[in-house]
Amino acid sequence: MTMSHKPRVLVTIPMFAEVLTALAERFEVDAPCGTATPIDWTADSLAARAQGAAGLLVAGSPRIDAALLAAAPSLRAVCSMAVGHNNIDLPACTAAGVLVSNAPDVLTETTADFGFALMMATARRIAESEHFLRAGRWTHWAYDMFAGADVHGATLGVLGMGRIGQAIARRGALGFGMPVIYHNRSRLDGAIEQQLGARWVDKATLLREADHLVIVVPYSPASHHLVAAADLALMKPSATLTNIARGGVVDDAALAQALRARTIAAAGLDVFEGEPSVHPDLLTVPNVVMTPHIASASLRTRRAMADLAAANLAAALSGQQPPTALNP
């Protein structure tokens, strides 16, 4: 029997068969999820499995922190196939000499498509009316049946004007004639603002003026509950809120309350605090459209994200800088 001298990589998530095959050309691949069986990792089970691994391929979970790095000192690379990397303690990885990469750009347009679709479904009450029809409750036409809010020509508010925020703004401005206002810690270059027809405003103005607010900020301690009860109270009763960022950016309990009291009209949520759990109050309000964190989930894009993570892993473990490195 010959011993493998390939570095071992642990793939912590279900993965495309083709990507596993490609990885196996360079690495000893440990893929306990195979292509279809997610594992609910605990800190202990992950630490045990990561023993001796040189690389990890992850997504928006599991959590990679100092304790894991201490338990798996052979780790040299953590490569995520997500763009959001709040599950990875970047300073701890840097201190331990572990290269970290994420998967930006390849998902921008697909995620913006979904954000726009969710915003439209929310404004036009598509999910609510579909449930009504399936329940056999459609008996007649009425002028106000599921009458929602227009999207075209309405003011689009974008909270977080990174790549995905800009792609959403472009859809709104060019495709739907929407005046675009945005709030971001740093203002865009004037030329880009002009190209997008987007105007920077402070957060309170954004909340007050947006007809449709789309949230696209990365999660960090600084953005925790960036939209809380007092912020929701600034919004128009006719406004919608769509969150495709991360759950913790919005206070879900406060949002459920605002939806129930109709101090805002409706919400579209692809991400949740503590997901895959969903705040029980959200499950009982009708004016919210909810999806299970699938904004980047077109097959082509998910494959591009996985390929990019695999390319990062190959580079990192052969001593090169990963194409989309987040450190050192």
Nearer to ligand DGY, 60 or 157 (CB): 60
Q: In which residue are the tokens 């993965």 written?
A: 15
Q: Minimal distance in Å, beta carbon 296 to ligand DGY? A: 5
Please give the angle made by the CA atoms of 257, 261 and 262, to the nearest 5 degrees: 110
Two tokens, residue 314: 């190959």
Nearer to ligand DGY, 240 or 243 (CB): 243
Q: Minimal distance in Å, beta carbon 82 to ligand DGY? A: 3
C-alpha–C-alpha distance, residues 211 and 179, integer Å:
10
Nearer to ligand DGY, 287 or 296 (CB): 296
SS3 content of the chain, % helix, strand, coil (to 5): 40, 15, 45
Cβ neighbours of 23 (radius 10 Å): 23
Catalytic residues: 246, 275, 293
Q: Minimal distance in Å, beta carbon 208 to ligand DGY? A: 28
Question: Which 8-state DSSP code applies to residue 38?
Answer: -
Does residue 259 contact residue 267 with C-beta atoms inside 8 Å? yes
Polymer length of the chain: 328
Q: Which residues in this chain contact ligand DGY in the complex, by CB under 6 A?
A: 59-60, 82-84, 107, 296
Nearer to ligand DGY, 62 or 84 (CB): 84
Does residue 48 contact residue 96 with C-beta atoms inside 8 Å? no
Nearer to ligand DGY, 239 or 249 (CB): 249
Two tokens, residue 114: 């979904």
The amino acid occupying position 113 is: D
- In the sheet with 8-11, reading across from the earlier edge strand, the strands are 28-30, 8-11, 55-58, 77-80, 99-101
Two tokens, residue 320: 């090169």
Q: Minimal distance in Å, beta carbon 115 to ligand DGY? A: 11
Q: Minimal distance in Å, beta carbon 62 to ligand DGY? A: 12
Does residue 102 contact residue 80 with C-beta atoms inside 8 Å? yes
